[in-house]
Chains A and B, each alone.
Chain A
Amino acid sequence: MSPVPRRLDVLEAVYDRLASRVVVTIMGAVAAELQSIGHRPNFFYLQHAMGLASSLGLGIALSRPDQQVVVLDGDGSVLMNLGGLTTLARYRPRNLVHVVFDNESLLSVGGFPTATSTGSDLAGIAAAAGVPRTATVRTRDDFVRAFDEALAANDLTTLVAKVEAVGPSAYVTGLTLLENRFEFQRHLRETRK
């Protein structure tokens, strides 16, 4: 099988789409890499509480149906909140796109393999939970295509992107957690009709 892309390259490929959406990420590499491309007030990085980024995205999506929400999740985080997939599917927010970067490892704590490395299929689990649109992609171009389709679909999508288990050299960034949180809240307030 050909090598899977780096997450940073995938993020760069769709950064212009993210710039105009409400984005919630998990902790660690995803947060640091997105910030390295460019932080925006509509980006919120949940730097702990593994598993809850998708729940937080659901809370925003239900509260603000006028906004399209993109959650950038990871395999380790999703595995900590598999039940959350059933809640997502149950309420089926049509304004939420759930991306799972699957590097098959807990990278930031030393790269220990997760259960997706031994075959657990997160898109399959999401589909079985009732998420109406699911896919697994293995190349940058396939990701961009599937992500654009998800943004246009007007329905809940869980898109699993297989990526290489590489990340940034450091995870702590110059953006403090609370600064990000209050700026993000203010952004959502200012976009309310």
Chain B
Amino acid sequence: MSPVSTDNSRLIYDALKGCGVRLVSALPETWLVHLIRMAEDDPDMILVRLAKEEEGVGISAGAHLAGVKSAMLMQNHGFLAAVNGIVSCAQLYRIPLLMLISFRGEFGERDPWQTEGGGVTEDVLRALNIPFEYLDHPSHVERRIAKAQTLAAASNKPVALLLCRDLMWEEPA
């Protein structure tokens, strides 16, 4: 069994559905496996598997202009790879983006290769003036996702939710 939390992935997925998300773009990453499978198994969800995360910005922009609510699932290194698209498509054109970013490299990280990204993710979000919040406990998942989607739609701007180890990973620390 993967120590990625199925229950909390379900909570996140149901919250996305609950705020009307009908298209999800994703690049696989360990913490996102259940979420991607849930999107794949859901006949009411369009799942777009990407080659690189920046494509997801364009796909979400197209979906938004066409009247479909979307979300992006990516690792924080994928967020870093998508920065130009976020700035020169989503921010330039006032596109609401709901970005769910697995926050690898924070306290408890065992993979040495994930540790640099964790240290810069929040600072890059701040530098881009992207409002963000943490998902680190099941009790607030539904409410924070709904509020993030509300702000994205009202502001026509990107927002981010950082999926944290305490929520996504069930292995004892």
Contacts and interface: CB of A to CB of B under 8 A. Distances in A.
Interface of A: 24, 44, 46-49, 51-64, 67, 81, 83-84, 86-87, 90-91, 177-178, 181, 184-185, 188-189, 192
| Chain B: number of interface residues, binned into ranges | 20 to 34
B58 interface: yes
Contacts of A178: 93-94
Given A44-B65, A84-B51, A185-B65, A56 B92 contact: no
B48 A63 contact: no
Contacts of A46: 58, 89, 93
A184 B54 contact: no
B54 A81 contact: yes
B50 A52 contact: no
Contact of A63 (B51, B68, B85, B88): B68
- Kindly list the 6 A-B residue pairs having the minimum CB-CB distance in the complex, ordered from nearest: A59-B62, A55-B58, A83-B51, A52-B58, A49-B89, A63-B66
B93 A59 contact: no
Given A44-B65, A181-B65, A63 B89 contact: no
Given A63-B68, A178-B94, A57 B48 contact: no
Interface of B: 23, 46, 48-52, 54-68, 70, 84-85, 88-89, 92-94
Main DSSP-derived SS at the A contact region: helix
A58 B48 contact: yes
Most chain-B CB neighbours within 10 Å: which of A24, A53, A59, A87?
A: A59
Contact of B58 (A47, A54, A185, A188): A54
Contact of A177 (B46, B61, B63, B92): B92
Contact of A60 (B50, B51, B66, B84): B66
A84 B67 contact: no
A91 B70 CA distance: 17
Contacts of A55: 54-59, 62
A189 B103 CA distance: 36
A92 to B, nearest CB: 12
Looking at A48, A91, A189, which has the most chain B CB atoms within 10 Å of its CB?
A48
A100 B66 CA distance: 23
